[in-house]
Amino acid sequence: MLLLLLGAGFFIPEPVKIPVKGASKADWHPQSFWYEPWGLSGVHKGIDIFAETGRAVISSTNGIVLYTGTFSRGGNVVVVLGPKWRFHYFAHLSSIETAPLRFVGVGDLIGKVGDSGNAKGKAPHLHYAILRLLPVPWAIDGATQGYKKAFFVDPHTYLSGAD
């Protein structure tokens, strides 16, 4: 039964949208994923999508909101469990506009761009990262912390087909 449930997560449709309303691929650096050195975390495990404070942050895919709250580095954050058992992490929000256990569709409002957490005093942006619940060992490489790539998806590549 567990295998059936796990397998089903891979067959749920996964529409993809850039998670900042009105943003394009020009609003982040395509090589910022796994960039180093990057503060206390060593490497940057997501991308920063720059926009003015208060711009709508939308769900990048369909999913269930698992967490809304505050982390010291991420500030105001939302975590959505999407298709393929992937956690979509939205950080540095100025406000959170959703709640835990709420279903969100691709494009639904979940928050607003900000500079909370360790982004305080920097240009407002959304830090967007994608983590796999089920690791893929073939993604491991010799980069700094390269073993963690088994758990992370490059958001730039993920969003390459998004509108």
pLDDT tens digits, residue range 61-72? Answer: 999 999 999 999
What DSSP designation does 154 have? -
- Write out 103-150 in H/E/C secondary structure: EECCCCEEEECECCHHHCCCCCEEEEEEEECCCCHHHCCCCCCHHHHH
- pLDDT (0 to 100) of residue 38: 55
Which CATH number does the domain housing residue 153 bear? Answer: 2.70.70.10
Query: Mean of the per-residue pLDDT values for the chain?
Result: 90
73 pLDDT above the threshold of 70: yes
Residue 56's domain spans which residues?
2-161
Provide mean pLDDT across the span 125-151.
92
Q: What is the CA radius of gyration of the chain?
A: 15
Question: Which of 81, 77, 84, 89 minimizes the C-alpha distance to 63?
Answer: 81
- Contact residues for 109 (Cβ-Cβ < 8 A; gap 6+): 56, 57, 58, 97, 98
* C-alpha to C-alpha distance for 36 and 54, rounded to whole angstroms: 28
- pTM of the prediction? 0.92
- Write out 4-40 in H/E/C secondary structure: HHHHHHCCCCCCCCCCECCCCHHHCCCCCCCEEEEHH
Question: Which of 9, 55, 18 minimizes the C-alpha distance to 158?
Answer: 18
Let me know: does 98 contact 110? Beta carbons within 8 Å.
yes
- pLDDT (0 to 100) of residue 2: 63
Among the listed ranges 6-10, 16-20, 32-36, 44-48, which one has the minimum average pLDDT value?
6-10
13 pLDDT above the threshold of 90: no
| Overall number of domains in the chain | 1
84 pLDDT above the threshold of 90: yes
